[in-house]
Amino acid sequence: MVVPGSPSVAGAAPGREALLAALDHSLGMLTLTPDGIVVDVNDKLLGMFGYARADLLGQSHTLLCDPGDPTCGDALANVTHTRRSHSGQVRRRRRDGSPIWLDATYNPVIDDEGKLAFVIKLAIDVSAHVERQAADDARLHLLSLGVDETDNAVLITDAQGDVCYVNAGFTRMFGYAANEVIGQSANVPAGETPVGEFADGASAVDVKDALANYLVSARDGRSCHSEVLVRTAQRQPLWVSVVTNPILDANGQLINAVVLFTDITQSKIQEVLQHKALAAMVRDAPLVEVLTLICRELEQIAPEVVASVVRVDAEGRLRPQAGPSLPAQYHKCIDGLAIGPNVGTCGTAAFQARPVIVTDIAHDPRWADFRDMAAEFGLAASWAMPIIANDGRVLGVLGFYYRTPRGPDALHERLVDVCVHLCKLAFERDESRTRIRQLAFSDNLTGLPNRSMLGVLAAQAIASAAELNARMAVIFIDLDRFKQVNDSLGHQAGDALLRTIAQRLRRSLRGADIVARLSGDEFVAMLTECDPERLDIALERMRSALRAPCQIDGVTLAPSGSFGISLYPNHGKAFDILLQRADMAMYQAKMTSPGSVRFYHEDMNLHAQERLELETAMRDALHQGKLQLFYQPQIDLSDDSVYGAEALTRWTHPQYGDVSPSRFISLAEECGLIGELGTWTLRESCRQLADWRQRGVGIGNVSVNLSPTNFHDHNLPRTIADALADHDLPPSCLAIEITESVLMDHNPSTLRIIEEVHGMGVRLSMDDFGTGYSSLGYLRRLPVSELKLDRSFVHDIARDETVRALTNAIISIGRNLHLTVVAEGVEDEAQRALLVAQGYRVAQGYLFAPALSAVDLECWLERWSTRPPSPSPRLS
């Protein structure tokens, strides 16, 4: 500051006037009386304040002050008091009211008498500078606030690599006070490599020890970014993102390095843990594997935690799933524990469906029952979070155990949030997978396990039976006449019946037993742990449950089923063998007596094999014309003339020899060849009859046997008509033998077709009469013209009076209904005589002839017509 009147440099100095003019030009000057009245002011000052000279002269200097500024006048007072000059920065006010900052010097002017005459104020306008400064200060203030208050940690080193600054965030994040870090060298000592690989949690190093790592790149003038797991002063692991920026001078020399740390633990938890867990789920890893992985990752991030995941089953019991750091023995101890209000931490959390924190297991009442166990495994505290499904069910519990009494910290809380969510996903995924499997493994119609599921369940049952030395039974159940329900009442009724049967079977057995639907009307029950007595009881329950009448579509049905049984281990140790053998036994039951029960027997195996081969052979024989028709003559007893011939099919197989009709007929029924067989017999017998009639052989009628199944065929009347027409035969020369079982057949078309055949003029003959149906009423409904007395009556007629009474009754029925009665199986003279005595007119049997080939029959006929006269004709 230039003070007027200061000694000037002698000699080369400008003139005093010039100097004053220069000052007058650049400084504002104001001359005041000691009590502050303006007596002089220069233009410069007037310009600064925006006043005219007249405005100020004679006025108090306070005119220039801000009215609200209490310090105004202090400087003047100071000078008048001390009589010494005073400098300082002052704030004043312009005429327009705006503030002006002045660097001002107040100089006392002392008169000759030593009194203070004036105070001269010299001032420079520094407003622009002050404002800039204020803005800078404000910015700096904000900056320091920003740096300190941020969640980020900031560390700055000097050119030597020594830490010269850390912000408050550093202390907050890492737990080190500034003075613990400042001055510490962040340099890598010569010959050493930086500390630590940070990538995995196990080798996480203390942040202080790792500082050198952050400066490696800075030294080369490069900035760098890395994500590392470090430990805080409290040994807490923390994932941080580290950005290092070098500050270089104009020559490229490092002046400072600024290191910025950001806590990325949360995102890292999500990224590492979530990523790995989700990836495991995506690749369809089993539940236990996913949960174990979650526990492992969690323990890496928080090594003081021992993690475990427990499932809560449908019965509310704990089922440990994962806990890689817990001994297996511990899991064994808690497996199956029912959840409750005082069942440790996990059992209680599951029960209450909310988190439970036990900071000291040794003294917590909820652990009263399990304290010793916890102590044995070194568990001192724990924390459990229930894993709750969207529908509110508690699926399981995520448990944290600690080796010392304590509670969770912030990191644990963050971990739990993510992990509970992941566990929930894993559980729900597992549940839906199980559901899907169930769908795929169960039968849509009945909800019972299907064939594949049965295989799985049976294999499990066999495995445990093997271990326990237990016996089991496989029961194959096939409904009787189910096809007829389907055909006559429709598929919906059939489905309803199957559902009812499924329920009944399931209800009649214990929970541990297996009931499955194989296909169609086939069910399989598997009794686990079964002794003979229990098998008896179970069979009886199933059979009576099955038999109970049921209403379907307003129709009352009396279901029944044929049962086949194989036993484990007697009949086999593998399920498919047992199933196959139970199936065979069932088949036998069905064949011999539908609705009955059969146990597997070794012979059946043989039969089944044979049956398969026979079936193929039968098909070949039929298609290759290897079947033959034989004819058994029927004799008119009144004059020993030939009444007609019954066509009987014969099959001689090159390997099996003569196969009896009773065997191959039922085979043809089962393998669907019965229709073809019927057509063949009709055509063949018509051809033969026509041939005989043409050649005058003396056989004018044939009767052909048809099975009940043949009457399901709508084309039967057409087939018969064609067979007759092809050989110009009148319908009356053909008789169709049907058995009484045709009447048991509920197929609605059977009666219609019988009527139709009858309508064509073809005779109908009731075969095996007297053996089956107890009511004779049907004779009025069926248009039969002939009865065939079953050969069992004939067989006993000579020795049994009751039989004679019956045969007598039968012939009178025939007479009354105008039906011819043919006696079958007449083998001897005595039988013939008795029959004749009772009025029988037609007979057939070995007494006359067995069934013969067409050629042999012709020979027989020859002999028959030329035989010596009766009374005792013999068979050839």
The site for ligand C2E (CB under 6 A) is made up of: 632, 648-649, 660-662, 665, 681, 705-707, 737, 767-768, 791, 825, 827, 845-846, 851
Instruction: State the minimum distance, in angstroms, from the CB of residue 854 to ligand C2E.
Output: 14
Q: How far is CA 410 from the centre of its chain?
A: 35
Nearer to ligand C2E, 287 or 784 (CB): 784
Residue 771: CB minimum distance to Ca ion, A: 9
Smallest distance, Å, CB 707 to ligand C2E? Answer: 4
Q: Which is nearer to ligand C2E, 213 or 685 (CB)?
A: 685
CB of 683 to ligand C2E, least distance (A): 12
Specify the residue, 242 or 738, whose C-beta has the smaller distance to ligand C2E. 738
Q: Which is nearer to ligand C2E, 27 or 674 (CB)?
A: 674
- Comparison of 166 and 645: residue with beta carbon closer to ligand C2E: 645
DSSP label at 185?
A: B
Cβ neighbors of 431 (< 8 A, separation 6 or more) are 389, 395
What DSSP state is assigned to residue 732?
Answer: G
Question: Residue 530, Cβ neighbours under 10 Å: how many?
Answer: 22
Q: In this complex, which beta carbon is closest to Ca ion, that of residue 236 or of residue 681?
A: 681
730-769 footprint of Ca ion as x/- string (CB under 5 A)? -------x-----------------------------xx-
Please name the helix (run of DSSP H) or strand (run of DSSP E) that holds residue 106, with its range, or none.
strand 99-110
Q: Which of residues 54-113 bind Ca ion (CB under 5 A)?
A: none
At 48, which amino acid appears?
M
Smallest separation, CB 800 to Ca ion (Å): 19
Residue 345 interacting entry, from Ca ion, ligand C2E, none, C-beta within 5 to 8 Å by type: none
Q: Which is nearer to ligand C2E, 212 or 706 (CB)?
A: 706
Residue 458, contacted partner among ligand C2E, Ca ion, none, CB below 5-8 A by kind: none
The widest CA-to-CA distance across the chain, in whole angstroms, is 201
User: Of Ca ion, ligand C2E, none, which one sits near residue 661, judging by CB under 5 to 8 A according to partner kind?
Assistant: ligand C2E
In angstroms, the CA 67 to CA 69 distance is 6
Segment 69-78 long-range contacts (CB within 8 Å, at least 24 positions apart): 73/36, 75/104, 75/106, 75/121, 76/32, 76/34, 76/36, 76/106, 76/119, 78/106
Beta bridge partners of 357: 383
Sheet holding 28-32, edge to edge: 38-41, 28-32, 116-125, 99-110, 86-93
Take residue 813 and report the two structure tokens written for it: 């029925």
What does residue 177 show for φ and ψ, rounded to 5 degrees? -70, 155
Query: Running DSSP on this structure, what letter comes out for residue 442?
Result: B
Nearer to ligand C2E, 756 or 790 (CB): 790
State the binding string over 818-847 for Ca ion (x if CB under 5 A, else -).
------x-----------------------
Q: Which does 632 bind (CB under 5 to 8 A by kind): ligand C2E, Ca ion, none?
A: ligand C2E
Question: Which residue in the set 528, 679, 705, 820 belongs to the binding site for Ca ion (CB under 5 A)?
Answer: 705
Query: Pick from ligand C2E, Ca ion, none: which does 845 bind, CB < 5 to 8 A by kind?
Result: ligand C2E
Nearer to ligand C2E, 322 or 852 (CB): 852
Beta bridge partners of 228: 240
- Residues binding Ca ion: number (CB under 5 A): 5
- Minimum Å gap between C-beta 745 and ligand C2E is 14
Could you tell me which of 195, 191, 192, 193 has the C-alpha nearest to residue 207? 195
575-592 vs 451-468: helix axis angle to the nearest 10?
A: 110
CB of 692 to ligand C2E, least distance (A): 18
CB of 688 to Ca ion, least distance (A): 17
Tell me how far apart the terminal alpha carbons of the chain are, to the nearest angstrom. 166
Residue 175 and residue 233 in contact, taking contact as beta carbons nearer than 8 Å = yes
**What DSSP designation does 37 have?**
B
| Stretch 766-805: interaction string toward Ca ion, x if CB under 5 A | -xx-------------------------------------
Residue 299 interacting partner from Ca ion, ligand C2E, none (CB closer than 5 to 8 Å by kind):
none
Nearest approach in angstroms of CB 649 to Ca ion is 11
665 binds, among Ca ion, ligand C2E, none (CB under 5 to 8 A by kind): ligand C2E
Query: Within 13 Å and on the Cβ side, how many CA atoms surround 829?
Result: 5
Cβ proximity to Ca ion: between 478 and 767 the closer is 767
Contact in structure between 220 and 211 (CB atoms under 8 Å): no
Beta bridge mates, 260: 154, 243
Give the one entry of Ca ion, ligand C2E, none that residue 846 binds, where binding means its C-beta sits below a cut-off of 5 to 8 angstroms depending on kind. Answer: ligand C2E
Interface with Ca ion includes 299 (CB under 5 A)? no
Instruction: Look at residues 341, 382, 374 and name the one whose alpha carbon lies nearest to residue 358.
Output: 382
* 372/658 with CB nearer ligand C2E: 658
Q: Minimum distance between the CB of residue 851 and Ca ion, rounded to whole angstroms?
A: 10
Strands 657-659 and 641-653: antiparallel
Residues 25 to 54 in contact with Ca ion, rule: CB under 5 A: none
List the single partner that 827 binds among ligand C2E, Ca ion, none, CB under 5 to 8 Å by kind.
ligand C2E
519 binds, among Ca ion, ligand C2E, none (CB under 5 to 8 A by kind): none
User: How far is C-alpha 78 from the chain's CA centre?
Assistant: 92
CA angle (399 as vertex; 398, 405 as ends), nearest 5: 155
Smallest distance from the beta carbon of 844 to Ca ion, in angstroms?
9
Burial 155-184, CB ≥16 within 10 A → b, else e: bbbeeebebbbbbbbbbbbbbbeeeebbeb
Q: How far is the CB of 493 from ligand C2E (least distance, A)?
A: 30
The secondary structure of residue 64, as a DSSP letter, is G
* Closer CB to ligand C2E, 291 or 823, in the complex: 823
Which residues, at least 6 apart from 642, have a Cβ–Cβ distance to it below 8 Å?
633, 634, 635, 636, 698, 699, 861, 864
Rank residues 237 and 825 by Cβ distance to ligand C2E and give the closer one.
Answer: 825
**Cα distances (Å, whole numbers) of residue 346 to 246, 328, 364:** 52, 17, 13
Select 299 or 737, whichever has its Cβ closest to Ca ion.
Answer: 737
417-423-425 Cα angle (round to 5): 105
Q: Are 260 and 152 in contact (CB under 8 A)?
A: yes
Place of tokens 């068979």: 875
Q: Which is nearer to ligand C2E, 560 or 747 (CB)?
A: 747
Pattern 504-543, binding to Ca ion, x per CB under 5 A?
Answer: ----------------------------------------
Show the beta-strand stretches assigned E in 573-640. Answer: 597-599, 627-636
At its nearest, how many Å lie between Ca ion and the CB of residue 632? 9
How many C-beta atoms surround the C-beta of residue 116 within 10 A? 15
Closest CB 738 distance from Ca ion, rounded Å = 9
Rounded to a whole number of angstroms, the minimum distance from the CB of residue 709 to ligand C2E is 9
DSSP 869: P
Q: Which residues bind Ca ion (CB under 5 A)?
A: 705, 737, 767-768, 824
